Structure 1
Amino acid sequence: MTTPPTWPHTPVVRPKDRKQRIESAATQAFALRGYHQVSMSDVAASVGISAPALYRHFANKYDLFKHTAFGIVDAVETATDDAAESAAVTSAPPAEQSAALIGATLESLIKCRGTGEIIRWESRYLEPADRASVDQRLAKVYGRFSTVLKELRPNLRSEDAALQSRAAFAVLASVSMHRTSISSAAADYLRAAAQRAFDAELPEVESYVAPAATGIPSTAKREQIVARSIELFFARGYNLVSIEEIGGAVGITASGVYRHFESKSGILAAACSRAAEYLGQVTREVFAAVDSHEDALDGLIDAYVEAQLAHHRLLQVYIAESTNLGDDERERLIALQRDHVEEWAGLLRAVKPQFSASEARCVAHAGFHVVDSLGRVLAWQDTPSNRTRVAHMLRAVLDV
């Protein structure tokens, strides 16, 4: 005979905000580890629920990933829409429109701390229609900045307006790319830096004819494998490139690739190590050639912009794909990336003693993101004029 339940029975009460908690946990996981490295079980465990309970809210991992990406864009799109509508209602002068847009955007992005990598890198794994939707909505946000800039400076050249509006947004968006604390002083500096991006006077674009390409590829298969892998990882993302494709690009079989590397992640580790060594060498050379912190910062700005434009595939892979490395290699490279940030932060504090350590890190990240964003706007075209103009914008943002 079945024993009847004891009454009164207390039902299990599910938190009303469970779906929001799931989305928050998934957003942090995807940002930290990348879409392909996170499972539904990982997300469920972080929220303290079972995998079946998670599937009651989201059909699959892709459905959850799409919600996280759209949620980040929602936040900044809503903020810029509200700022624009408020300006229209009050007929605010351009300077007030600019301040309101910058302030609202920064406030929304501070709430997205550490999640911007999803849009910056992982959004390439969205399905084409979803990726197009994200791109269209971001274009609308960029358009808000362009509109305000045109109100402020109606005679600004179109080439300058394209760079300056994106630089202003990049300063603010940088807070979503890292987890350094944002003090009120740092927030004030970032708002002022975005406004300086609007106000900058850029050098004119100079005509340039690229010289004929020179040089021959290495004959060493290991070097060829690394070089072609960097191109493939940059173009499509590490997780969508197979060993067979890498071998085909070099003219060997997959087994031929394995004679040089134990795994695909070993190829990535070699590429990332190369990037870290290159950035370290660039920094050391700048420091060795100057006699003051001011000159060091000035030289490092030019050297960093040159590095990003001349070797963008290598450096973008280094930044974007480290989550796909093994634990030990990933920790080593993350430590090197942190050291690079600290080098810039220390130099900024030497030049601007009013900065705290965390404020200097925030400013350094803002500078890095400006260069990255402008490189994308310029399609990574490495010309003397582009180097000069991007470096000029970086100096404006850093106020040096």
Structure 2
Amino acid sequence: MTIDTSDGTPAASPDRPATPKTTPKKTLRPRNRKAQIITVAREQFGRSGYHNVSMEGIASAVGITAGALYRHFPNKQELLAQAMLDGSSSILAILDEVDRTDSKVVFTALVRYGLDNNFRSLLFDQEARNLTPERRTEARAGVREVTSRVAAALRHERPDLSVPDSVVLGWALTSIAFSPARHRTTLPRKRFEALLARLFDVVRTAPALPEEPAAQPQPTSNFSHTSRRESLMGAAITLFDQRGYRSVTMDDIGSAAGVPSSSIYTHFGSKAEVLQAILARGNETLRLGLVQALRNADSREDAIARVVHSYTNSVISPDSAIAILIEETANLPEEAQASTHIAQREYIDEWVHLLGNETADARATVLATISMINDLTRVRLESRQCAIEDLAVRILATQTV
């Protein structure tokens, strides 16, 4: 028996030279793999929140194994840190290439980066609480440097602008520049750029921002409620804001509220029920404030100012549920999420209707304004409440008819 050792290739002959054998090429690892991972991670963290994202899910979206992902990043916490640091460093690199003394050029660079990358505002940094203290400091330093570039450009153009006012305006413009990725209202690219440019002009040319009135002594009270349910909700608001919903247990809430573990479930069947009660409270607080503001207004301009003031007061209230409303809705069961989103959408509808201009441009402006208020109060500028409200009213006035 003859054993055929050929591979099916015709034998070589003087007229047919031998076909050279080839070795399969190895698939090379892309040089930008780490950047790909960071981009996907930043998008997933921004959309779903840190605790709702897994390393396996990120690896799958990138098209690699979880093991390959761990060769780049030892854990999810470090990946979050790198995603946040990469965002600010990428933006700073772009700003290094433009005229730092021209605030419009700086702002336009931020807008284009945000639109190109669907980049969520650097200021919406609730996920920073999941970092180590050292990494949190680094991430926030990057954010401050971005806003400082905007503020410096404004001061160069307006020597009369005080440093405190330039800081407020710098944060405001950075928030507005990245606002499109914070909501679902869509506009054609050029139209979005034109809209944001108009809002930029309003902020850049704002006169000296109003000073805060002298602080009035707050009355003290020796009275407090006795409701354990209220105590549990108050403790949960604080803990969810500081540590995030997923990092808090029912025992943590009970301990902070001074309620025995055996009594917690008398008031709430689960942690999800606590969250749902808080978000319902937040939505009702906003709606009640809006109704009262409209009831007392004597003109459209007065109504807008009152609604802005009502919202800002709700955000900065010590026991405010608004931050939880913004950050933790995704942790509700699907049905509860849907009802919460409906309530939020109806609240935004009221603002748009108040402008008398129910267009996509008006809606995007309202959402940019609300994001700006959220961001400026989040970065501890709530002491400039009058200035924040003044800017908000000026921005909204661009859409009144």
Same fold by TM-score greater than 0.5: yes
2:78 matches 1:63: yes
- What is the number of residues matched between the two proteins? 379
**In 1, Cα distance between equivalents of 2:216 and 2:246:** 36
Tell me what 2:311 maps to: 304
Q: Do the aligned partners of residues 26 and 20 (structure 1) sit closer, same or farther apart at CA in structure 2, a change above 3 Å counting?
A: same
Q: In the TM superposition, what are the counterparts of 1:330-369 in structure 2 within 5 Å? A: 330-348=337-355, 350-351=356-357, 356-357=359-360, 359-369=361-371
**Which stretch has the larger CA shift, 324-333 or 140-149?**
324-333
Deviations 1:3-22 (A, max 9, x none): xx999775674673654443
**In 1, Cα distance between equivalents of 2:66 and 2:96:** 37
2:282 matches 1:267: no
Q: Do the aligned partners of residues 338 and 22 (structure 1) sit closer, same or farther apart at CA in structure 2, a change above 3 Å counting?
A: farther
Q: In the TM superposition, what are the counterparts of 1:1-400 in structure 2 within 5 Å? A: 13=27, 16=30, 18-83=33-98, 86-87=99-100, 97-113=102-118, 115-116=120-121, 119-183=124-188, 184-201=190-207, 202-214=209-221, 216-289=223-296, 296-310=303-317, 313-348=320-355, 350-351=356-357, 356-357=359-360, 359-381=361-383, 386-400=384-398
**Which stretch has the larger CA shift, 363-372 or 210-219?**
210-219
**In 2, Cα distance between equivalents of 1:215 and 1:45:** 56
Output the amino acid matched with 1:139. R
Q: Do the aligned partners of residues 78 and 398 (structure 1) sit closer, same or farther apart at CA in structure 2, a change above 3 Å counting?
A: farther
**Which stretch has the larger CA shift, 390-399 or 132-141?**
390-399
Select the structure with the greater relative contact order (CA < 8 A; seq sep ≥ 6): 1
**Which stretch has the larger CA shift, 169-178 or 364-373?**
169-178
Q: Do the aligned partners of residues 44 and 204 (structure 1) sit closer, same or farther apart at CA in structure 2, a change above 3 Å counting?
A: closer
Q: Do the aligned partners of residues 284 and 50 (structure 1) sit closer, same or farther apart at CA in structure 2, a change above 3 Å counting?
A: same
TM-score by length of 1: 0.83
TM-score by length of 2: 0.83
**In 2, Cα distance between equivalents of 1:118 and 1:193:** 18
Give the deviation of 1:207 after TM superposition.
1.6
Deviations 1:78-113 (A, max 9, x none): 222322xx44xxxxxx5xx11111111111122342
Is residue 212–residue 386 contact of structure 2 (8 Å, CA) maintained in 1? no
Is residue 38–residue 79 contact of structure 2 (8 Å, CA) maintained in 1? yes
Q: Do the aligned partners of residues 62 and 310 (structure 1) sit closer, same or farther apart at CA in structure 2, a change above 3 Å counting?
A: closer
Task: List runs of 5+ in structure 1 lacking aligned partners.
Answer: 88-93
Deviations 1:103-150 (A, max 9, x none): 111111223425337952112211222111111111211211221122
**In 2, Cα distance between equivalents of 1:299 and 1:8:** 76
Q: Do the aligned partners of residues 366 and 215 (structure 1) sit closer, same or farther apart at CA in structure 2, a change above 3 Å counting?
A: farther
Which is helix-richer, 1 or 2? 1
Deviations 1:275-300 (A, max 9, x none): 01111222333445558655543432
**In 1, Cα distance between equivalents of 2:138 and 2:71:** 25
SS at match of 2:161: coil
Give the deviation of 1:34 after TM superposition.
1.0
Give the deviation of 1:174 after TM superposition.
1.9
**In 1, Cα distance between equivalents of 2:51 and 2:379:** 27
Give the deviation of 1:26 after TM superposition.
2.3
Tell me what 1:91 maps to: none
**Which stretch has the larger CA shift, 113-122 or 287-296?**
287-296
Q: Percent identity?
A: 26
**In 2, Cα distance between equivalents of 1:345 and 1:21:** 38
**In 2, Cα distance between equivalents of 1:141 and 1:115:** 14
**Larger radius of gyration between Structure 1 and Structure 2:** 2
**In 2, Cα distance between equivalents of 1:369 and 1:232:** 23
Q: Do the aligned partners of residues 324 and 9 (structure 1) sit closer, same or farther apart at CA in structure 2, a change above 3 Å counting?
A: farther
Give the deviation of 1:65 after TM superposition.
2.1
Output the amino acid matched with 1:175. P
**In 1, Cα distance between equivalents of 2:122 and 2:172:** 17
Moved segments of 4+, more than 6 Å: 5-9
Tell me what 2:12 maps to: none
Task: List runs of 5+ in structure 2 lacking aligned partners.
Answer: 1-6, 9-20
Output the amino acid matched with 2:93. T
**In 2, Cα distance between equivalents of 1:272 and 1:158:** 37
